[in-house]
Amino acid sequence: MHEPPNLSLLWGLPFAGLLLSIALGPLLMERVWHHHMGKIAAGWGLALLLPWAVGFGVGEAAGLVAHAALAEYLPFLALIFALFTVGGGIVVQGGPWGTPAGNTLLLAVGTLLASVMGTTGAAMVLIHPLLRANAHREKKVHLAVFFILLVGNVGGSLSPLGDPPLFLGFLRGVPFFWPTVHMLAPMALLAGLLLAVFYGLDRWLAGRQQAVAPAAQPLRVQGWGNVALLGGVVAVVLLQGVWQPGELALLGQHIGAERLVGMLALVGIGTVSLRITSNHAHRQNMFSWAPFAEVAKLFAAIFCTMAPVVAMLHAGDQGALAAVVKLANADGGQPVPAAYFWLTGLLSAFLDNAPTYLVFFELAGGDPAVMVGERAQTLLAISSGAVFFGALTYIGNAPNFMVRSIASHRGVHMPGFLGYLGWAAVLMLPGLVLVTWVFF
């Protein structure tokens, strides 16, 4: 897709309308939203594409769709499909979970695993045992909320496997272990604060309920075939970063051959998982396609409608969002790390954090040697902002909406878009301010 020049802010209205629909639809028209969510999302997509076709030509509109599909949506969907099916086939039973100390331990383990198997992988594997172990609890919303914050976002800070923005940085030349060395301290500070708050809240809520936690059972893991397939998913993601045989032209778009091979491999892994997973394992995890379908419908429209907003950011100080971009640099052109942290973060909470990372990476210079050298503090700000702030909304990072959907399917009355935003703001913002003060 070739973005037409000088896009006005009006082209961002369909994206804003979609966000408002996600936020207010479940509150104002719950039945209509759940029955017609896909149609409403598609309507906002058409609200962008039809004027785009009139203003810039049918070919440009088709190019926008093709670019969103091939460069972002289909790779995203293939990864989610593989992790959703593989995670749904791994049954973790027993263990010390279900008590405040046990739940805190599980969240801490998940936070660390997120940098090894990715935030989405860790989330899909561990959300089921967390909710199963706490089935006796009366109040469980906080379990899923803290899980999204820690396992679905903050925990992905320490490697390019953890979160898509860091993977893009790796592809641009940032050393593989750079996040491990530089992001460990801010991640440990933020995760430590969240775990401490969680333990206090979970202990207080546990003391107020009547139900007694069942006795701890020996830890057992079923579905070792899926554990092996999970390793295959991680290998496929990593391979796309080191094996780049060249680009192919498809639907007028240039896409790396490794991306196409990766998508096919991920779909294959998910298909194998479905064939080897027993019905008993799926019943244990209350496996249903409903969460996957909900994410697939909404993110198709999200990736499409956000394209003009990302293009405005790419235009830098020549675009409609120039005022936002200029906040990141001082008068002399030197980057302001604290500004990069908050601007990258706040935009990542509502846009895809991967392209947002790239926009500010380029804005700060774009040379990986410089970014990991004299501007390492700025790169730390961009990386931390893209990863941490993804926790603020359901659409900030891939696992967020998926965990919400799985928890709702398991009977947890999850807050709506605005309700979750309130939870996340109260829990995250003090820590983010502290990270700014200590590191930037």
Q: What is the pLDDT of residue 285?
A: 78
From residue 307, alpha-carbon distances to 8, 254, 294, 303, 435 in Å are 13, 17, 21, 7, 30
CA torsion through residues 275, 227, 155, 95, sign: positive
Q: CA 116 to CA 258: how far, in whole Å?
A: 21
Q: Which of 395, 301, 378 is nearest to 338 (CA)?
A: 378
Burial environment of residue 179 by CB neighbours within 10 A (0 to 12, 13 to 18, 19 or more): buried
> Which segments of 220-352 does DSSP mark as H helices, in order?
224-242, 257-276, 279-284, 290-305, 307-314, 322-326, 337-350
Query: Is residue 7 within 8 Å of 312, Cβ to Cβ?
Result: yes
Is the pLDDT reported for residue 215 higher than 70? no
Is the pLDDT reported for residue 248 higher than 90? no
Query: Is residue 153 within 8 Å of 111, Cβ to Cβ?
Result: no
- Token pair listed for 367: 């040379």
3-state secondary structure of 419: helix
Is the pLDDT reported for residue 317 higher than 80? no
pLDDT classification of 435: cutoffs 50, 70, 90: very high
Q: CA 66 to CA 1: how far, in whole Å?
A: 8
Helix axes 141-150, 417-439, angle to 10 degrees: 40
Is the pLDDT reported for residue 315 higher than 80? no
82-114: per-residue pLDDT in tens? 888 888 888 877 767 788 999 999 999 999 989
Q: CA 434 to CA 436: how far, in whole Å?
A: 5
The dihedral region occupied by 223, where left means phi > 0, alpha psi between -120 and 50, and beta the remainder, is left
Q: What is the pLDDT of residue 283?
A: 84
pLDDT classification of 212: cutoffs 50, 70, 90: low
pLDDT classification of 388: cutoffs 50, 70, 90: very high
Is the pLDDT reported for residue 219 higher than 80? no
pTM value > 0.85: no
